[in-house]
Structure 1
Amino acid sequence: MLSRLTLVELSDLPRKPHGCPPEVGRSWDRLVATHKSVTGLFTTLNELRAGQDDMRGAVSETHRDQARAAIVFTAAGIDACLRTLLRDSLHTLLSTAGDAHNAFVAHFMANRLGGDVTKATKQAVIDIDPRSALIELYVQDLTGSSIQGGADLIRCRNALGLKQEAALGDQILKGHQPFFNARHEVVHELDLVDPSGKGSRSRRHRDLAAVGAQCDGALQLVHAFIAPTARTVKSARRAMGMSTP
């Protein structure tokens, strides 16, 4: 029965980076877990559709709710993966000169050390472990309450010193904005066409194949962050005379 359907599926993840350093391992594990969860949602979606009396019939709201859940799960995974990648890898990347350190300095000079210094910044500076406290502030500044789209992805890319990575070019990252817009609509507007209450309050149409492609592309993008970060972290470790377990 499933063979008569156009299945909504994720592509397999590429292999874990060779010699993946511990600074990247937790982010990789979160990516794998997210991929597994979203795959499970799409499997359930495909099975529900296969169970219809007429598989050529209209896609129900129940089916689209599975797709909406996949959007939310994928976006939550992206948030967790990138925050973890930043928190874990920046300690090593900022110990050597390079693009990541330059981005760190530029951010603090432009946003936290000019004019009146905030209480949070002062507390970080006098913390028993100021570097860790400053990195935590940095990650909060970069990601906010959640990754909102291309602009946030660009900031994360630059913070990791990956500005030269072709797979993370500005236009590529901005191209994922529709996915983040969809997450916002699902989470904050309950996917209502007019959440203000004026006019129609019907729910947005969600094309299942398009949702599958968006989620798949977003998860593959996380790997595009993880793989080069693993390389740069290993390079920084070598520069400091550290081995990679």
Structure 2
Amino acid sequence: MSESTAATRIPKLTRVALTELGRKPRGCPDQVKPSWARLQATYKSVSGLFDTLHVLREKAAETKDARGRLSEDQLDQVRAAIVFTSAGLDACLRRLLRDALPALIEGGGKPQGRFKGHIIETRLIGNPAKETKAAITDPDPRTRLIELYVEDLAGSSLQGYTDLIRVRDALGLTDATLADEHLEALKDFFAARNEIAHELDLLDPTGRGDRGRRHRDMGTVGNQCDRVIHVIEDFLRATASALKAL
């Protein structure tokens, strides 16, 4: 989110606003539509959190100067924006993998090669796991193996930018917007997400030192959430183009 679109000035306060989403891809494939709906819901939820934060700051400004450090309640709104954005990332890309990967694998090329390589090199080495054996003996083994592949790619959640690289490569996407450097730029967001999710943002949750909570800069978090939301959009647009090209 550029500085010109990141915030709109009103008296005393700075309002964080996400960059608007583009329109759904023309002729959007059915395999992308559910993920696009989740993207729109994520955008609406995160925007709503920042709107609520602004209302809270306006109310606080009626009795005191609200231009300084955010209160703990206000910081919790900022933290919630990170959590909501992360949940949207997980929901959108996991659904995209489930819906789009089968068709892309069937289309051959890199997605099929990566799928076969993963199953052979990871799932079939040594004594296969119980779920792998169940998939192989299933009436529809290909579908079950793809389901396991999706779980291996995304797990319970996407923990870092390297997970996004794996998802991109599995889908066979080569768009410049999803280049390594663009995805690596999200590492600060993932660090914040993990600190909030696993430590409640405590500075020292186990030792004797400072147990205070980390301060989150409102503008920085707004930019981080905005970048992640538009990376999701880039994934969906690139996947839509790949499916239409089959």
Sort the TM-score into its range (normalised by shorter chain): over 0.9
Question: Number of matched residues?
Answer: 235
Alignment partner of 1:225 out of 221, 235, 244: 235
Offset of residue 9 of structure 1: 1.3
Change (3 A) 1:20 1:178: same
Q: Which residue of 2 aligns with 1:153?
A: 164
Q: Which amino acid aligns with 2:44?
A: K
TM-score, normalized by length of structure 1? 0.92
Offset of residue 46 of structure 1: 0.9
Alignment partner of 1:3 out of 10, 28, 52: 10
Q: Which amino acid aligns with 1:24?
A: V
Offset of residue 57 of structure 1: 3.5
Runs of 4 or more off by more than 4 Å in structure 1? none
State yes or no: 1:139 paired with 2:150: yes
Offset of residue 166 of structure 1: 0.9
Question: 1:24-173 counterparts in 2 under 5 A?
Answer: 24-52=32-60, 53-162=64-173, 164-173=174-183
Question: 1:192-207 counterparts in 2 under 5 A?
Answer: 192-207=202-217
CA deviations 1:90-121 (Å, max 9, x no partner) are 12111121111111112112211222211111
TM-score, normalized by length of structure 2? 0.92
CA deviations 1:137-168 (Å, max 9, x no partner) are 11110111110011100000001011x22111
Offset of residue 197 of structure 1: 3.3
| Counterpart Cα distance in 2 of 1:219 and 1:61 | 25
Q: Which residue of 2 aligns with 1:210?
A: 220
Offset of residue 218 of structure 1: 0.2
Q: Name whichever of 56-65 and 33-42 sits farther off.
A: 56-65
| Counterpart Cα distance in 1 of 2:225 and 2:14 | 16
What secondary structure is seen at the aligned counterpart in 1 of 2:70? Answer: coil
| Counterpart Cα distance in 1 of 2:207 and 2:34 | 43
What secondary structure is seen at the aligned counterpart in 2 of 1:110? Answer: helix
Q: Which residue of 1 aligns with 2:27?
A: 19
Unaligned runs of 5+ in 1: 237-245
